[in-house]
């Protein structure tokens, strides 16, 4: 066996060889050599040293059968007779081909399993790296299964709400919602799950300190190659200060209008008073 | 949380309304209770409102901005004095 490996290392098969393994891989047809002649060894040898070695193996007969799965030749099964003196015949071919067929299925399954394992490992690594990214977002973020069951929240979510995954997973998030807004949020979220439409809404969430803060919540479906929703990805952006600034600007505008109206009224009162004073002064001057 | 004394007065309601619009109901109620307790006053008059507004202004941020607005409201409602927020120490 060691000699055979050494031979292959030193004299790798040439794809254009007229017989042997390369020919069977090329054609996909079993090759039976009942009696290995010295002429054949001369034909197959790459150089005199090679010929010397293969002559030393005392090869008598061989069958090379293609390992074929789903129409693709994966390799070959080579059966060789040497010291025993026995020779293969056409009667041995069906057994060898059946054996090769079963071996090819096993090899193909192993390749499929390996490919699937690699794909799964790549998908898990990709998911892990995405979760690491999401975990470090400055916003509150989370991921849900296609049916809306939330199975991941990032660190900012837990920091703000003071909750745990056990409390929040699935539909546990309802606990950190203001009951006044919850029915509308739930209705619209269920609508998105049913239709696949993105979700966008502003609503308050209750913080760990018991105080609500307003968030702009956006949820988008993450679709697979076939277009089906594989996950939902949601973010909650704190807009409390933006809302406060907006409300403050509106209040200031309102108050400015009130102040302007009050100033106008005061000026009118002042004008009326000045006119009255002028009238009185004029009357005093004209009266004897 | 129980309502502070005199919470149905015109000045209390004015402060609560403006603070709620900008800060939200929870924050407004908590803050108004804390500031009035600190000052030891009720919002019964325009002068009370001016004092309250000055204390709020001192907090800075959105609270301070609402305080500045309320100090103008206090004058418009007839406060006899304008209380500079710095005067509250």
Q: Pick the range with the lowest mean pLDDT from A7-21, A232-246, B43-57.
A: A7-21
A281 pLDDT higher than 90: yes
Residue A244 with chain B: CB contacts under 8 Å:
22-24, 62
Give the residue with greater pLDDT, A83 vs A257.
Answer: A257
CA of B5 vs chain A CAs: smallest distance (Å):
24
For A262, which residue in chain B has the nearest alpha carbon?
B76
**Do A8 and A107 have their domain in common?**
yes
Within-domain flag for A114: yes
* pLDDT level of residue B73 (50, 70, 90 thresholds): very high
CA of A177 vs chain B CAs: smallest distance (Å):
14
As a whole-number percent, the residues of chain A with pLDDT over 90 amount to 72
Contact at 8 Å (CB) between A205 and A212? yes
Last residue of a domain, one of A118, A150, A170: A118
Find residues 40-79 of chain B whose CB sits inside 8 Å of chain A. 62, 65-66, 69, 72-73, 76
CA pair distance B74, B78, nearest whole angstrom? 6
**Do A18 and A70 have their domain in common?**
yes
Q: What is the CATH number of the domain that holds A203?
A: 3.30.450.20
A17 pLDDT higher than 90: no
**ipTM (interface predicted TM):** 0.80
CA pair distance A145, A267, nearest whole angstrom? 67
In 3-state terms, what secondary structure has residue A62?
strand
What percent of chain A is helix, strand and coil (3-state, nearest 5)?
55, 20, 25
**Do A147 and A205 have their domain in common?**
yes
**Do A190 and A106 have their domain in common?**
no
Within-domain flag for A123: no
Range of the structural domain that residue A65 is part of: 2-118
Domain count, chain A: 2
For B65, which residue in chain A has the nearest alpha carbon?
A248
Q: Which of A179, A205, A210, A252 should one mutate to test binding to chain B, selecting the residue with the greatest count of B CBs within 10 A?
A: A252
Within-domain flag for A81: yes
Query: So what's the pLDDT on residue A59?
Result: 87
Contact at 8 Å (CB) between B1 and B33? yes
**Do A108 and A23 have their domain in common?**
yes
**Do A26 and A56 have their domain in common?**
yes
**Do A15 and A85 have their domain in common?**
yes
Bridge partners, A42 (sequence order)? none
A126 CB burial (10 A radius; 0-12, 13-18, 19+): exposed
CA A100 to chain centre: 38
Within-domain flag for A181: yes
CA of B6 vs chain A CAs: smallest distance (Å):
24
The tens digit of pLDDT for each residue in B16-34 reads: 999 999 999 889 999 999 9
Within-domain flag for A72: yes
**Do A151 and A100 have their domain in common?**
no
Q: What is the mean pLDDT of residues A156-176?
A: 94
**Do A41 and A101 have their domain in common?**
yes
Q: What is the mean pLDDT of residues A190-207?
A: 97
The tens digit of pLDDT for each residue in A30-87 reads: 999 999 999 888 888 889 998 888 888 888 999 999 999 888 999 999 999 988 878 9
Within-domain flag for A285: no
Query: So what's the pLDDT on residue A44?
Result: 81
Last residue of a domain, one of A238, A254, A280: A238
Q: What is the CATH number of the domain that holds A70?
A: 3.30.450.40
Average pLDDT, chain A: 92
| Residue B15 touches chain A, beta carbons under 8 Å | no
**Do A185 and A214 have their domain in common?**
yes
**What angle, 0 to 180 degrees and rounded to 10, lies between the N-to-C axes of helices B61-76 and B10-23?**
150
Q: What is the mean pLDDT of residues A277-288?
A: 90
Within-domain flag for A18: yes
The tokens for A198 are 């993105």
What sign has the CA pseudo-torsion A131, A135, A139, A143?
positive
Last residue of a domain, one of A56, A86, A118: A118
Q: Pick the range with the lowest mean pLDDT from A82-91, B32-41, B44-53, B78-87.
A: B78-87
A217 pLDDT higher than 70: yes
Give the residue with greater pLDDT, B79 vs A15.
Answer: B79
CA pair distance B89, B81, nearest whole angstrom? 17
**Do A114 and A186 have their domain in common?**
no
**Do A161 and A218 have their domain in common?**
yes
Within-domain flag for A265: no
């Amino acid at each position: 066996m060691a000699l055979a490996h050494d031979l292959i290392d030193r004299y790798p098969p040439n794809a254009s060889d007229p017989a042997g393994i390369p020919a069977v891989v090329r054609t996909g047809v079993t090759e039976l050599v009942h009696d290995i002649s010295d002429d054949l060894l001369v034909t197959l040898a790459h150089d005199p040293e090679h010929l010397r070695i293969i002559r030393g193996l005392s090869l008598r007969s061989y069958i090379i059968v293609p390992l074929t799965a789903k129409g693709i030749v994966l390799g070959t099964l080579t059966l060789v007779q040497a010291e025993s003196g026995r020779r293969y015949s056409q009667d041995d071919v069906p057994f060898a081909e059946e054996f090769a067929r079963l071996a090819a299925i096993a090899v193909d399954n192993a390749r499929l399993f390996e490919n699937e394992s690699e794909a799964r490992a790549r998908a898990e690594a990709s998911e892990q790296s995405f979760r690491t990214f999401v975990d470090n977002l400055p916003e509150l973020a989370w991921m849900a299964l296609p049916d809306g069951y939330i199975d991941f929240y990032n660190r900012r979510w837990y920091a703000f709400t003071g909750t745990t995954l056990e409390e929040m997973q699935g539909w546990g998030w309802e606990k950190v919602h203001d009951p006044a807004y919850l029915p509308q949020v739930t209705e619209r979220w269920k609508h998105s799950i049913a239709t696949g439409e993105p979700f966008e809404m502003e609503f308050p969430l209750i913080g760990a300190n018991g105080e609500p803060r307003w968030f702009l919540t956006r949820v988008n479906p993450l679709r697979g190659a076939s277009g089906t929703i594989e996950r939902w990805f949601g973010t909650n952006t704190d807009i409390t200060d933006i809302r406060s600034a907006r409300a403050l600007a509106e209040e200031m505008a309102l108050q400015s209008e009130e102040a302007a109206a009050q100033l106008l009224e005061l000026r009118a009162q002042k004008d009326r008073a000045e006119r009255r004073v002028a009238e009185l002064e004029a009357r005093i001057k004209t009266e004897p | 949380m129980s309502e502070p004394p005199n919470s149905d007065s015109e000045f209390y309601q004015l402060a609560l309304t403006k603070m709620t619009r900008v800060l939200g109901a929870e924050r407004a109620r908590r803050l108004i209770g804390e500031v009035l307790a600190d000052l030891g006053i009720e919002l019964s008059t325009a002068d009370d409102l001016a004092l309250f507004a000055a204390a709020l202004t001192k907090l800075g941020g959105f609270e301070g901005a609402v305080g500045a607005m309320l100090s103008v409201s206090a004058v418009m409602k007839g406060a006899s004095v304008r209380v500079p927020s710095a005067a509250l120490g």
